[in-house]
Homo-oligomer: A and B are copies of this chain.
Amino acid sequence: MPAGSALFSENNLRSFTTSIFLQIGCSEAHASLAADVLLRADLRGIDSHGVARLAGYVRLWEKGRINATPDITIVHETPTTATVDGDSGLGLVIAPFAMNLAIEKASVYGSGWVAVRNSNHFGIAGYHALMAAERQMIGMAMTNASPLVAPTFTTERLLGTNPICYAFPAGNHPPVVVDMATSAAANGKLEIAQRKNDPLPGGWVQTAGGESSTDAHALKSGGSLLPLGSDREHGSHKGFGLGATVDILSAVLSGANYGPWVPPFVSFIDPLPDLPGKGIGHFLGAMRVDGFRPVAEFHHHIDQWIDRFKAAKPIDPLQPLIIPGEPELQAAHDRKKNGIPLVDAVVSDLNTLAEKFNIQKLEG
């Protein structure tokens, strides 16, 4: 456990988080679902997307930018496609609604694809994609996000870290879960370097003028994150292309905001005027494995795929190949048993919420 942090049980954090969502007016079902999405991030070791964000959601609610009692509706539909309007609700409950719709469509027709507008931050993409994988479907989830990434050759932040997730069910092995930001580094890694006063590796950020930088604070002086690939020579145009794909599928297709107009997650920055769409956008999909081949055959071959890749000759015998999703599952096993570490700043943030809503404080 890192210094300046304490351990909390899953149950403790879950009931605390549920209470806060109830306090801002969410229904029982929404509060418990939203808490489940955040807790899953903490369990899986993706600390930046778990309860550490709870205060941020509350601040957006205080600003009137999150509706705790949304009327989530399907505004456009074919047998296997739909667009959902989230009515400014929590992405944490809108995305599961949309994924359930995709899964229903896939159950009947083989596949289902749902674009979402008028939503907010949806937590970890893996949560939603795994909903499909648990039903022997291939799950896909992506979202656009606050603009922080400058496309290749430019100095303007026009894309978010726009994650893409694919989850594949397996047989004897746990699911393969590819869950990745389309930037070279996630913002959370910059925050860690800031706390430690460490320089960044080159290729993560650039200055306001577009020069390569190792300053962990570069974004505070007009700098930008760089797309996956870091520079043109190493394929940053591909990272830009992936981020653009996420932006178009999530927002241009759904009627959400895109590019520089995506409303910031932080409540102290107001959205731009004259927005072209509503809220932020997501795109979710599910395909039945047995729409392509019998599930048992697929399980046999994906298990063989996993076994073969795990057996790959390592450069360093102490660092074998990592199957996507494996470290997160390992973290979940450990943290369910031993507790979830939260840094003191997060605990203090959560306890400020506890005071505000007059509920019991967290104790490590």
Residues on A facing B (Cβ under 8 Å): 76, 78-83, 109-111, 113, 115, 138, 150-156, 158, 166, 168, 176, 178, 180-182, 184-185, 201, 203-204, 209-210, 228-230, 233-235, 237-242, 244-245, 247-249, 252-255, 258-260, 276-277, 287-289, 291-293, 297-298, 301-302, 304-305, 308-309, 312-316, 319-322, 324
Stoichiometry, copies per complex: 2
A312: shortest Cβ distance to chain B, in Å? 4
Q: How far apart sit A1 and B184, CA to CA, in the bound complex (Å)?
A: 35
Residue of B nearest to A202 (CB): B234
Chain B neighbourhood of A155, CB < 8 A: 312-315
- For A244, list chain B residues within 8 Å (CB): 176, 178, 309, 324
Expressed in whole angstroms, the minimum distance between the Cβ of A224 and any Cβ of chain B is 11
A254→B291 CA distance, assembly (Å): 10
The residue from B153, B182, B209, B322 contacting A237, defined by CB atoms under 8 A apart = B322
Q: Is the CB of B242 within 8 A of A301?
A: no
A78: which B residues are within 8 A, CB to CB? 109-111, 288, 291
Kindly list the 8 A-B residue pairs having the minimum CB-CB distance in the complex, ordered from nearest: A78-B110, A81-B291, A210-B315, A178-B241, A81-B110, A154-B312, A80-B110, A180-B238
A302 in contact with B252 (CB, 8 Å)? yes
Contact B248 A180 (CB under 8 A): no
Tell me, rounded to whole Å, the shortest Cβ–Cβ distance linking A143 to chain B: 16
Q: With CB as the reference atom, state the residue of chain B lying closest to A114.
A: B292
Q: Is the CB of B259 within 8 A of A309?
A: yes
User: Could you list 13 examples of A-B contacts with CB < 8 Å?
Assistant: A79-B80, A80-B80, A81-B111, A82-B291, A152-B322, A153-B314, A153-B315, A178-B242, A182-B238, A201-B234, A203-B234, A204-B234, A253-B293
Chain B residues with Cβ below 8 Å from A115 are: 292-293
Q: Which residue of B lies closest to A233 (CB)?
A: B201
B158 touches A302 (CB 8 A): no
Residues of B within 8 A of A254 (CB): 292-293
Bound-complex Cα distance A229 to B168 (A): 23
Give bound CA distance, A324 to B159, whole Å: 15
